[in-house]
Amino acid sequence: MEMLNNLISQVNAFVWGPPMLGMLGVTGVLLTTGMVFMPWRKIVYAFRQLFANHDDSHDGDVKPFNALATALSATVGTGNIAGVATAIALGGPGAIFYMWVIALFGMATKYAEAVCAVTYRETDSHGRFVGGPMYYLRNGVGEFAPEMGKTLGLLFAIFGAVAAFGIGNAVQINSMAAVLHDSFSLPTWATGIVVAVLVGFVVLGGIRRIGEVAGKLVPAMIVLYVVAALIILAINIAEIPHAIGLIFTYAFEPVAAVGGFAGAAVAAAIRFGVARGVFSNEAGLGSAAIAHAAAKTNNPVRQGLIAMLGTFIDTLIVCTMTALVILTSGMWTATGADGNGLTGAILTSEAFSATITGGNYVVTLALVVFAFTTILGWSYYGERCWQYLFSEKTLIIYRIAWVAAVLTFANMKVDFVWNLSDTLNGLMAIPNLIGLLLLAPMVFKVTREYFARQPD
């Protein structure tokens, strides 16, 4: 098993190495420039569409807001708390600059994914809308390259169905069980039982119940987390200019070792900033498109605008709050009990508690809720991939297996599962990015036509 795990780790390092990160960046840049920076220019307009009522929004299964909440439930997670801290610990404050850059261009990628998902979605035998990369690869790319579209769609569905059990299930429940055990001495088996029951109740109700739960739980938790961060920043307001200065200075200059921080070159800031940004908002993986395909809308562009808000909220708001708390608290240079620098969720927890009493419990609560909602969001992604491969009649098998996995992985080490699912997530991105580049002319066309009809 150790040999296999090492092999997977090597494959994972290649899959998420410079070529993949470069491909994600290039796709985002091409889509952004091809739309003349529309995602940046129309961010306020997109927020207005999120809460607007439209007479043509009848086809679909969930409200556009709930589709976004479902997508956010799978993206806003441990990456926003532990991932940001890891980026700073390994790449220095400058890593946050590159996290912002990849998010800004990732907005166009997420927009294009949703436009394609709504354009090429289908209905199953029960009249429910299903879509995502596997469908727009088969139906969109398949219009001019049938065999390529069919093959790419099949590959995405296989990678997605299997990867969901790792990154969206095993890693989340294991992290949740561990943090509750450390903070409240709650047995891991107890966490597994309770979460399995709750997850079973939600996922057996399908996308509508997932959307309803996510629509209430995700915004509430994001608001709570951001408010707690803002309180800390208000207390440390004098340190904010210095923190922002650190981000921009060390984005272009190496940072020397100080305290528990080992130092980092500019290359490390770029590598870890881009990687953590992609892991956090998932722009380019194609996963969020599966949720947006179920939205009640007849307008692909409008849902694309709502979808791109997911990247904006996830990285440019939530991740930024985490980064500023860590930097203004000064804990990024602190030394742990083992003599090394702090990293991951521990660094974020220490940063919160250094300023406000009980701040570590805010981080614990956020981790638990974000992990739970990630399990819900990825359950939907996984079962849509399963349905594409097999049939909707077999969905109950996937749902039962999903709940059983929650119960099982709460008490297991998941290093191997993490590495394997990480690799499969990277492999998911390859067919999706190929599809987005091939379908880019369609995305540009419908975008131009939509805004040509809008009043100035």
* DSSP code per residue over 36-47: TTHHHHTHHHHH
Residues near 368 by beta carbon (within 8 Å), at least 6 away in sequence = 176, 179, 180
DSSP code per residue over 247-315: HHHTTTS-B--BTTB--B-HHHHHHHHHHHHHHHH-TTT-HHHHHHTTBS-S-HHHHHHHHHHHHIIII
What confidence tier does 125 reach under pLDDT thresholds 50, 70, 90?
confident
Is 279 within 8 Å of 168 (Cβ atoms)? no
What confidence tier does 61 reach under pLDDT thresholds 50, 70, 90?
low
| pLDDT score for 240 | 96
Most confident of 51-55, 237-241, 298-302, 407-411: 237-241
pTM, rounded to two decimals: 0.90
For 410, the domain range is: 2-453
The total of structural domains in the chain comes to 1
Write the CATH number for 198. Answer: 1.20.1740
Share of the chain above pLDDT 70, in %: 94
Q: Give the span between the Cα atoms of 247 and 237, in whole angstroms.
A: 16
Q: Tens of pLDDT along 394-432?
A: 889 999 999 999 998 888 766 666 667 667 778 889 999
Mean pLDDT of all residues in 374-385: 90
Q: Which amino acid is at 149?
A: G
Q: Give the span between the Cα atoms of 366 and 361, in whole angstroms.
A: 8
| pLDDT score for 79 | 75
Mean pLDDT of all residues in 331-356: 85
